[in-house]
Structure 1
């Protein structure tokens, strides 16, 4: 297409105007959410809508006059208070699946476990759920109930099944012979005349939540490093002359608007000459760093937020100095950039 063509120029101007309008809409939407939250949580507004001792009719009329947005904000605040005080809650749940045997009604009655995680920006992630069902054992006649994981919404890289075998071991199965008598089948690796292992539901939920918190902590650490270096969000912070063709880094766990590009970011130019830093996979155990001179590094983050080991490779082979810097000092991932700045200053004092 000829760039001097008036039609092509008009199309470019229209695309530029559309991009500018979309950026402005995103900024106004963020501003609106911030102001709405500030107004609804203000003490003056809460006092004005708080019902005083009055007849029931006055209270009903007050609820009708209150905006649905205000009522929703109050419910949301109450839910957040509950989340802060109780990060793990349980609830009864009935399995709607028609494939379960109708005679086994107890298998339809599930125990739901909800896990709430608060991340660095003060927001709660979407709740994670565990659905537990009763396991058929001969211990039910003695008043003992065993459970096992039925369904869950935990990410696949967290070994829920393996944790279930450790904390929620199965009891010896009860099988019926041809005459209708029950006989107990001894589990493998179990000494005779020893009682079955007890289940530890609290330990199971605690370990699942610990791994979820560790995962979000690693993600928050990577996001913090990127923010300290400076990021540009496509369609929001970038101007038309700064837009680049090709894919940008996709933020993990961020809803992407493919029209405006929200959710795709790239790093700004920085003194450390780092052009990319991002987790290599969803679990964010390994982080990849790329420098402008072509060096590529990778370091591992432990569940406690420490840099366990690192590898940096350039045109001349491995860079032992940078590897020692990444793992040295206090070893914390949050201070990686501070350690890199000291090395950059020593190499180039200007």
Structure 2
């Protein structure tokens, strides 16, 4: 009995310690943001310039301020470039001595961003392997996710020269960029839904019909699986752009039509409205219709 009592007392203490750790992490992040804001402001730039040109520039504080200001300016320049130029082209030299076209490769870099943060860039490499048509490009390598049909787009916009069709590199790049943005929009739906339902920080819920799981269910991120504490499961169907197209709900008796209709509402509501209906207090379950 004493061991059980001690264990019960330790659980809230561990939770309190974890909350304090999370608070410390949030405060450190907020401090970094505030420091970056000050360094990026006109006052911060003038202070850094004055510190670097003054006679006291040899002090550690002045040197540190000038270094941080220089790093912040470089970071701002890089961020502005990545935000304003989501697709960039560059030349690459293939070190393979047997590479076609003397190892000359055209590289394409695609930027992707969500919630104010840049993801790891995607790269597409093109070469010119056709001796009889040296201006025609061919897909060489890429780091795109499997959901982006890069091979199909290459066959459509960068056709083989034997067919006599003209290649359209600009259209190829635009279609790739659109598919990448759509993919990240769909991925963001599940993340936003988890965040709105408070599932990023798992805590025990007293409601038996609360949502406990929201995960991507397929490689294209067009299906989102929803799980309830009472054993029900749902499948959220998204379109190419990440908008909610349909929702199905199942429980131990089969398909739950009434809950699905209630959650979908008018069918034109946004993600925030759906998240509000998924809250335990918004889902009433009397007189449900089922189908096997």
User: What's the TM-score once normalised by structure 1's chain length?
Assistant: 0.66
Q: Does structure 1 conserve the Cα–Cα contact (< 8 Å) formed by 2:214 and 2:225?
A: yes
Q: 1:326 to 1:20 in 2, by over 3 A?
A: closer
User: Matched residues in 2 for 1:299 and 1:72: separation?
Assistant: 44
User: Matched residues in 1 for 2:187 and 2:283: separation?
Assistant: 28
Q: CA deviation at 1:280?
A: 1.4
Point out where structure 1 has 5 or more consecutive residues left out of the alignment: 52-57, 173-186, 188-195, 234-264
User: Matched residues in 1 for 2:207 and 2:219: separation?
Assistant: 26
Aligned residues between the structures: 273
Q: 1:18 to 1:296 in 2, by over 3 A?
A: closer
Tell me the residue number matched to 1:134. 128
Q: Does structure 1 conserve the Cα–Cα contact (< 8 Å) formed by 2:208 and 2:229?
A: no
Point out where structure 2 has 5 or more consecutive residues left out of the alignment: 287-292
Q: 1:231 to 1:150 in 2, by over 3 A?
A: same
1:77 and 2:76 correspond: yes
Q: CA deviation at 1:328?
A: 4.7
Deviation sequence 1:74-129 (CA, Å, 0-9, x none): 11101111122221111111123x3x427x5x34111111111221x211212111
Q: Which has the higher contact order (CA 8 A, sep 6+)?
A: 1
Q: Which moved more, 1:217-226 or 1:202-211?
A: 217-226
1:215 and 2:183 correspond: yes
Q: CA deviation at 1:298?
A: 0.4
Q: Does structure 1 conserve the Cα–Cα contact (< 8 Å) formed by 2:209 and 2:280?
A: no
Q: 1:139 to 1:280 in 2, by over 3 A?
A: same
Q: Is the partner of 2:160 in helix, strand or coil?
A: coil
Q: Does structure 2 conserve the Cα–Cα contact (< 8 Å) formed by 1:232 and 1:266?
A: no
Tell me the residue number matched to 2:226. 289
1:308 and 2:245 correspond: yes
Q: Is the partner of 2:128 in helix, strand or coil?
A: strand
Q: Is the partner of 2:234 in helix, strand or coil?
A: strand
Q: 1:294 to 1:342 in 2, by over 3 A?
A: closer
Q: CA deviation at 1:163?
A: 1.3
Q: In structure 2, which of residues 261, 271, 282 is the aligned counterpart of residue 344 of structure 1?
A: 282
User: Matched residues in 2 for 1:315 and 1:266: separation?
Assistant: 25
User: What's the TM-score once normalised by structure 2's chain length?
Assistant: 0.77
Q: CA deviation at 1:207?
A: 1.0
Q: Is the partner of 2:220 in helix, strand or coil?
A: coil
Tell me the residue number matched to 1:202. 170
Q: CA deviation at 1:309?
A: 2.8
Tell me the residue number matched to 1:179. none
User: Matched residues in 1 for 2:207 and 2:157: separation?
Assistant: 48
User: Matched residues in 1 for 2:118 and 2:236: separation?
Assistant: 28
User: Matched residues in 2 for 1:30 and 1:290: separation?
Assistant: 32
Q: Is the partner of 1:31 in helix, strand or coil?
A: helix
Q: In structure 2, which of residues 78, 81, 106 is the aligned counterpart of residue 111 of structure 1?
A: 106
Q: 1:40 to 1:344 in 2, by over 3 A?
A: same
1:125 and 2:123 correspond: no
Q: CA deviation at 1:38?
A: 2.4
User: Matched residues in 2 for 1:164 and 1:67: separation?
Assistant: 48
Tell me the residue number matched to 2:199. 231
Q: CA deviation at 1:225?
A: 1.6
User: Matched residues in 1 for 2:186 and 2:156: separation?
Assistant: 25
Q: CA deviation at 1:155?
A: 1.0
Deviation sequence 1:262-313 (CA, Å, 0-9, x none): xxx5686679721211211453211011122211110211122322233211
1:151 and 2:89 correspond: no
Q: Compare CA radii of gyration and give the structure with the larger one.
A: 1
Q: Does structure 2 conserve the Cα–Cα contact (< 8 Å) formed by 1:115 and 1:129?
A: yes
User: Matched residues in 2 for 1:74 and 1:268: separation?
Assistant: 46
User: Matched residues in 2 for 1:18 and 1:274: separation?
Assistant: 26
Tell me the residue number matched to 2:92. 93
